[in-house]
Amino acid sequence: MKEPAKILVLLDGSDRALDAVRYVASVRGFSPLTVVVLFNVHAHLPQSYLDLEKQPDSPDEDACIGPWLSAQETRRLQYMEKAQRILKEGGIEDVKIRVQQLSIGVARDIIAEARREYAAVVMTRRGMGLLAGLPIGSVANKLLHKMSFVPVILAVGHAVSDRVLIAVDGSPDAKRAVSFAGEMLNGGSRVGMIHVIRNHPGTDYEMTDGQLKRAREEMEKTFAEMKAQLENRGLEPDAISVKIVDHSPSRAGAILEEATVGRYDTIVLGRKGLSRVSDFSMGRVSTKIVQMADRHVLWLV
């Protein structure tokens, strides 16, 4: 039997942020063994109240701020309890609520919480007050790049199937991505693995027939190892497929095309590929897919 997975879900009080909760509640692989922590970071007072304190003729501070704080606390509790109900209705019983007053900064407070031995962090890519506009929002970018120590799941607001596509290139991060998928998924999932060989005919990146053959043979060995790993985690052999693409000018484009044609709603990626650059927390292919795959759930490992 699999060990329970402890998942951190980031919430900011918005309706769109609840998409992350609904996603976790709907994924069969996450239930019922998952332990979910619902996490909210909030400022004690808005800037408008801080400005009010500086006015010499401002009304009594307690009279103004006290009722506002009480109302905010009530709304926050109702919101977090609503998220908790969604998860329990989805079959996840162990749900904890963690609300924290802003300490050193939104992103840094979240990162500090994420370091508490979570299997994954789940957030929505758009619409959240604190995490708006992935991949453009500054807070979201900080989280995505600074939380390289834990898998990050970018959830979507629509229903998703149990079809999962794993992008594989033989790198350590890709191998970790397969391992993570094996830990999180259940026997009812269907998994495809895709490898895109960097081969651009007519350019300096064109490969000879011999080079292509050796590259395919090497990846077939890697696929065999990864498939065995998934089977050992409980996935059925006939539910796992593999594909090698050796003629695409864009690795990110080929992965997204396979996800669309194969009706995969979830794409699992290693953060960095074989061409790792130590100064960057994500590789070029992963970055492009984050930017382009706004209708897919992404697992970044």
| Number of C-beta neighbours around residue 126 at 10 A | 18
Q: What is the pLDDT of residue 130?
A: 46
H helix runs in the chain, sequence order: 18-26, 47-53, 61-89, 106-114, 138-146, 172-184, 209-232, 251-261, 284-292
The token pair that represents 107 in the structure block: 């992103």
| Number of C-beta neighbours around residue 46 at 10 A | 11
The token pair that represents 221 in the structure block: 């060995």
| Fold assignment, 6-155 | Rossmann fold (3.40.50)
Query: Residue 137 in contact with residue 25, Cβ under 8 Å?
Result: no
The strand order across the sheet containing 35-42 reads: 94-101, 35-42, 6-11, 120-124, 152-155, 297-300, 266-269, 163-167, 190-196, 240-245
Ordered mean pLDDT values, 10 residues apiece, the chain (301 residues): 82 90 86 87 66 54 70 92 96 94 89 95 69 50 87 89 92 92 86 90 80 92 96 93 89 95 96 53 81 91 94
Q: What is the pLDDT of residue 127?
A: 46
CATH 3.40.50.360 fits domain 163-300: no
Query: Residue 33 in contact with residue 5, Cβ under 8 Å?
Result: yes
Q: Where in the chain is the domain with CATH 3.40.50.620?
A: 6-155, 163-300
User: Cα–Cα distance between 224 and 178 in angstroms, integer?
Assistant: 12
Query: Residue 250 in contact with residue 199, Cβ under 8 Å?
Result: no
Q: What is the pLDDT of residue 52?
A: 52
Q: What is the pLDDT of residue 261?
A: 96
Q: What is the pLDDT of residue 1?
A: 52
